[in-house]
Amino acid sequence: MTAGGECAVVTGAASGFGLGLAAECAARGMRVALLDRDGDRVGAEAEKLAHEYGVDAFGMAVDVADDTAVRAAADAVRDRFARTDLVVSNVGVQLFGAVERLTDAEWQWVLDVNVVGSARVARAFLPLLRESPAARLAFTSSSGVLAPASRMAAYQASKFAVLGLAETLRLELRDEDIRVTVVFPSGMVSRHLETSQDAQPDRLRRSIGEPEDFAAMHASNPGLAASVIDPRQAAGNVIDALLRGDRYAITHGDLTQAVTERHQDIHQAAVAARDAANGT
Ligand SMILES: NC(=O)c1ccc[n+]([C@@H]2O[C@H](COP(=O)([O-])OP(=O)(O)OC[C@H]3O[C@@H](n4cnc5c(N)ncnc54)[C@H](O)[C@@H]3O)[C@@H](O)[C@H]2O)c1
């Protein structure tokens, strides 16, 4: 991909990983649409990319919790670029708390933004992607799916659901040559806690996490803070995988043991079930 004229759309692109992905696309000569609920910031970042890389870039205020706004963004991209080759659904909000403390309304907010928001983005942009000769659709999940930590149940469950959404879409798009990638980032220096706090609806407003939540999280998964990298560096590591249409992309190199152990356990359960079914 990137033979010329290709366009990328990234949600949650005003900062952090989304901005890094948009910048990596611009650096490869792609036109880019940056979508974010923070319209001022995303507009300014798009201008910077246009200036730095000499590509057409625009930013647009879009809340992925608002289906009308997401569909309007797809119309705006069609008007401006007349095509879309890569869409990255990257928005994710975080809210810490023990399972016993998280309320139904808190679960609903996190799942609505992270999961239903990703489905809204896919639904709105698939008609445009279908017109691309080599369409790519990517979803930002989290390494929390591969190596979870405590006090992040709503967030991690939402990221498991993003994986489930993507795996299902991949099957539904199998005959259309639209490749679907799931991205598993680990620790990045970003504004994630600050932007998640800002994004909380007024009726749910509370501290995003208590000191005891962070302590419990680190105790349950000491590897979590071992390597926290720059989001642009993380994006550089995964963008080629997205453009190739790989099924999975991982930002950090420290997950092999967690992935292997889980799959060994699942394999063992599958073997036990097979043996039980065979009466052996
Ligand atoms: N930072 C990390 O360590 C880390 C680790 C694993 C996964 N992730 C995931 O990476 C993605 C990007 O996070 P980041 O760390 O770059 O954080 P970030 O806060 O820098 O970027 C997220 C962006 O999403 C925007 N946003 C939030 N809610 C939105 C909404 N409803 N509609 C539109 N835009 C919205 C924010 O304004 C912000 O610009 C998220 O999905 C996050 O869950 C981050």
CATH of the domain at 163: 3.40.50.720
pLDDT for res 211: 97
Residue to substitute in 93, 190, 251 for testing ligand 1 pocket (most ligand atoms within 8 angstroms of CB)? 190
Q: Which atom of ligand 1 is nearest to the CA of 20?
A: 16
**Residue 179 forms beta bridges with which residues?**
136
91 Cα to the center of ligand 1, angstroms = 5
Residue 278 is assigned to a structural domain of this protein: no
Residue 222 is assigned to a structural domain of this protein: yes
φ/ψ (deg, to 5) at 248: -135, 150
pLDDT for res 12: 98
Residue 226 is assigned to a structural domain of this protein: yes
Ligand 1 in contact with 187 (CB < 6 A)? yes
Residue range of the domain that includes 131: 7-255
Residue 90 is assigned to a structural domain of this protein: yes
pLDDT for res 267: 98
Q: Count up the domains in the chain and report the number.
A: 1
The 10s digit of each residue's pLDDT in 25-72 is 999 999 999 999 999 999 999 999 999 999 999 999 999 999 999 999
**Residue 61 forms beta bridges with which residues?**
36
Ligand 1 in contact with 37 (CB < 6 A)? yes
Active site includes 53?
Answer: no
Q: Rounded to two decimals, what is the model's pTM?
A: 0.97
199 Cα to the center of ligand 1, angstroms = 10
At residue 4 the predicted structure's pLDDT band, cuts being 50, 70 and 90, is low
The 10s digit of each residue's pLDDT in 155-173 is 999 999 999 999 999 999 9
Catalytic residue among 96, 125, 155, 184: 155
Judge contact between 57 and 31, C-beta under 8 A: yes
At residue 226 the predicted structure's pLDDT band, cuts being 50, 70 and 90, is confident
Residue 180 is assigned to a structural domain of this protein: yes
Residue 265 is assigned to a structural domain of this protein: no
pLDDT for res 223: 84
pLDDT at 237 over 90: no
Judge contact between 8 and 85, C-beta under 8 A: yes
Residue 66 is assigned to a structural domain of this protein: yes
CB within 8 Å of 93: residues ≥ 6 apart: 109, 110, 113, 114, 155, 195, 196, 199, 200
pLDDT for res 259: 96
Judge contact between 42 and 60, C-beta under 8 A: yes
pLDDT at 3 over 80: no
Distance CA 7, CA 216 (A): 42
pLDDT for res 55: 97
Q: Whose CA is nearest to atom 23 of ligand 1?
A: 12
At residue 88 the predicted structure's pLDDT band, cuts being 50, 70 and 90, is very high
Residue to substitute in 9, 10, 17 for testing ligand 1 pocket (most ligand atoms within 8 angstroms of CB)? 17
Residue 54 is assigned to a structural domain of this protein: yes
DSSP single-letter state for residue 190? S
